[in-house]
């Protein structure tokens, strides 16, 4: 078999000059953190909103100017992290470790809080999901999943459109991260079957464009499904909680009336975009051999075996616990069963699980959580949000359609740097009062939905969502073990899709769905009364 795989993205020329990117990232960090003066607006925000007081209570700052300087350091970390994550100037997992290291040595957060970003619910969740993918592949259950979901399709176009539209719909109701873990090995198996059928003489002729195409189609489709219902993610539930504080609560099916209509449209656009982007690069134009090979292997496997039943039961159990466990169990607790059950029931060896987990992806994601905590707790995210909102006001985008576009653009950009839940939690308390003060009927719901919907579009940075980390971690060539995706690929292929997703939101959602569904009368008055009562 050939172990020589062409890497067409992120490599070659200036991108391979690691020293250049290290120096550039470090230079920008030093410039922002230690050379540029602290803006007065930043000092005012850390003082007004209590960030300075909090940092002094935590003993990470000794005065308001010192607290503002710590916030400037955090602002300097952001561009350095982006450069390092995108270019792999240093290994991506090591970049993740760099985030808490800087937080420790520059005393940006209390030590206990830094540790939680590596040992909280989200890191445990991703660890469990990565282990889940290893267990599914080890027992061969991914082949049955492929046969069940795509086995009836043939050719190239039909499987692609079925994949993108079905995954976007499924991602509206079932954990997109879990589906990503189940389906990434499926895509790898379909890919390998297709290229094997087109290879001659036992030598595998790899098609990197097809590998990227399948993995990104899966990942992006699951990302966009997040707008469909409150069950799609914690960010949606968080926004519903903010509305309830103003007595304008929203129920599950009302949310679906606004969000679900654009889900299949977004899934369709993902398929078309991926076909236009990769169409001419893909050498293997027929997925049928891969699908047929998987169906044949599934047939030879016979009836489901004991390890498969245990693994399938584990998947169902974890999904049920995610749905019914609520805040008490969180996502991390149930996910950790994916490390425990396969070993206890002797379906997958413990060392195989440890060896199969992509620790690079896990350390990278934990580092991103540390960066998100730094942005939130230091006031850096608040300053960025307030600065953006001032720009909106200066160009008369402070109400109605202009406000929806501006706030969704802000939250869409921020969610690529912070978690979607973190972005919603940060912006929700700011934007709902803004919507009330515009005096436009329905605005409290309109701005809240705009922010929550756009946090599903974390397409262009690998740290933007666990889905991105999962396809990066589990997407490997079956014969060589090499990564199918490079971190720079997310920027290269995801940024334009981010813009397309935002365009669907701005045009179809805001101008069509909002107008057809409308907003109930009286919610503005109700919300304003609740806000006025809270000020007394």
In tens, the pLDDT along 432-478 reads: 887 887 888 888 999 999 999 999 999 998 888 889 988 998 899 98
Q: Residue 152 region, left (φ>0) first, then alpha (ψ -120 to 50), else beta?
A: alpha
Q: In 3-state terms, what secondary structure has residue 483?
A: strand
Rounded Cα gap, residues 48 and 43, in angstroms: 9
Q: In 3-state terms, what secondary structure has residue 379?
A: coil
How confident is the model over 419-423, as a mean pLDDT?
Answer: 76
pLDDT confidence tier of residue 42, bands split at 50, 70 and 90: very high
Rounded Cα gap, residues 250 and 396, in angstroms: 29
Which residues are bridge partners to 483 per DSSP?
A: 476
In tens, the pLDDT along 472-522 reads: 988 999 888 889 999 889 999 999 999 999 999 999 999 999 999 999 888
How confident is the model over 196-220, as a mean pLDDT?
Answer: 88
Angle subtended by helix axes 92-105 and 111-119, to nearest 10: 160
Mean pLDDT (the chain, rounded): 87
How confident is the model over 349-370, as a mean pLDDT?
Answer: 86
Residue 236 has pLDDT above 90, yes or no: no
What per-residue confidence (pLDDT) applies to 11?
A: 46
How confident is the model over 205-215, as a mean pLDDT?
Answer: 94
Contacts of 229 (CB under 8 A, 6+ apart): 172, 173, 236, 252, 255, 256, 259, 260
Rounded Cα gap, residues 169 and 229, in angstroms: 10
Residue 101 has pLDDT above 70, yes or no: yes
Stronger pLDDT, 150 or 196, i.e. the higher one: 196
What per-residue confidence (pLDDT) applies to 313?
A: 93
Contacts of 514 (CB under 8 A, 6+ apart): 258, 446
Quote the pTM value: 0.77
How confident is the model over 334-345, as a mean pLDDT?
Answer: 93
What per-residue confidence (pLDDT) applies to 13?
A: 61
Residue-range domain boundaries for the chain: 122-232+248-358
Residue 357 has pLDDT above 80, yes or no: yes
DSSP class of residue 476 equals B
How confident is the model over 317-335, as a mean pLDDT?
Answer: 78
Angle subtended by helix axes 487-504 and 400-414, to nearest 10: 160
Contacts of 406 (CB under 8 A, 6+ apart): 388, 389, 392, 397
Residue 202 has pLDDT above 80, yes or no: no
Residue 9 has pLDDT above 60, yes or no: no
Q: φ, ψ for residue 461 (rounded to 5)?
A: -130, 140
């Amino acid at each position: 078999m050939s172990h020589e795989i062409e890497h067409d993205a992120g490599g070659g020329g200036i991108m391979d000059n690691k020293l250049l990117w290290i120096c550039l990232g470090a230079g920008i960090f030093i410039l922002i953190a230690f050379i540029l003066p602290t803006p007065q607006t930043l000092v005012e925000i850390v003082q007004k909103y209590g960030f300075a007081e909090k940092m002094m209570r935590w003993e990470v700052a000794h005065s308001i100017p010192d607290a503002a300087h710590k916030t400037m350091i955090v602002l300097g970390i952001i561009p350095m992290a982006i450069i390092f994550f995108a270019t792999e100037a240093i290994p991506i997992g090591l970049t993740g470790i760099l985030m808490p290291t800087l937080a420790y040595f520059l005393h940006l957060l209390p030590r206990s809080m830094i540790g939680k970003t590596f040992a909280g619910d989200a890191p445990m969740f991703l660890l469990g999901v990565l282990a889940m993918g290893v267990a599914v592949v080890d027992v061969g259950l991914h082949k049955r999943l492929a046969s069940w979901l795509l086995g009836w399709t043939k050719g190239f176009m039909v499987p692609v459109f079925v994949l993108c539209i079905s995954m976007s719909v499924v991602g509206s109701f079932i954990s997109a991260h879990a589906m990503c873990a189940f389906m990434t090995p499926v895509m790898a198996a379909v890919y390998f079957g297709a290229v094997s059928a087109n290879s001659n003489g036992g030598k595998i002729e790899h098609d990197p464009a097809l590998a990227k195409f399948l993995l990104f189609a899966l990942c992006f489709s699951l990302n966009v499904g997040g707008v469909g219902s409150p069950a799609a993610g914690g960010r949606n539930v968080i926004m519903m909680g903010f509305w309830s504080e103003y007595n304008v609560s929203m129920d599950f099916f009302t949310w679906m009336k606004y969000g679900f209509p654009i889900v299949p449209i977004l899934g369709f656009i993902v398929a078309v975009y991926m076909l236009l982007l990769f169409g001419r690069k893909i050498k293997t134009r027929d997925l049928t051999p891969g699908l047929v090979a998987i169906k044949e292997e599934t047939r030879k496997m016979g009836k489901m075996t004991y390890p498969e039943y245990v693994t399938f039961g584990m998947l169902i159990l974890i999904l049920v616990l995610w749905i019914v466990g609520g805040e008490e169990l969180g996502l991390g607790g149930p996910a950790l069963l994916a490390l425990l059950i396969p070993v206890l029931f002797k379906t997958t060896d413990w060392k195989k699980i440890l060896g199969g987990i992509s620790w690079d992806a896990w350390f990278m994601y934990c580092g991103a959580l540390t960066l998100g905590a730094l942005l939130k707790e230091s006031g850096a995210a608040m300053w960025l949000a307030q600065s953006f909102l001032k720009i909106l006001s200066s160009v008369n985008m402070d109400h109605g359609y202009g406000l929806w576009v501006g706030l969704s653009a802000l939250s869409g950009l921020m969610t690529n740097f912070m978690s979607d839940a973190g972005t919603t939690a940060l912006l929700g308390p700011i934007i709902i009062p803004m919507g009330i003060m515009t005096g436009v009927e329905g605005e409290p719901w309109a701005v809240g939905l705009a922010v929550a919907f756009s946090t599903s579009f974390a397409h262009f940075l690998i740290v933007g969502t666990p889905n991105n980390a999962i396809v990066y971690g589990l997407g490997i060539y079956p014969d060589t073990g090499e990564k199918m995706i490079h971190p720079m690929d997310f920027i290269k292929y995801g940024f334009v899709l981010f813009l397309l997703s935002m365009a669907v939101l701005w045009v179809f959602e805001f101008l069509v769905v909002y107008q057809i569904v409308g907003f109930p009368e009286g919610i503005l008055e109700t919300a304003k009364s609740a806000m006025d009562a809270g000020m007394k």
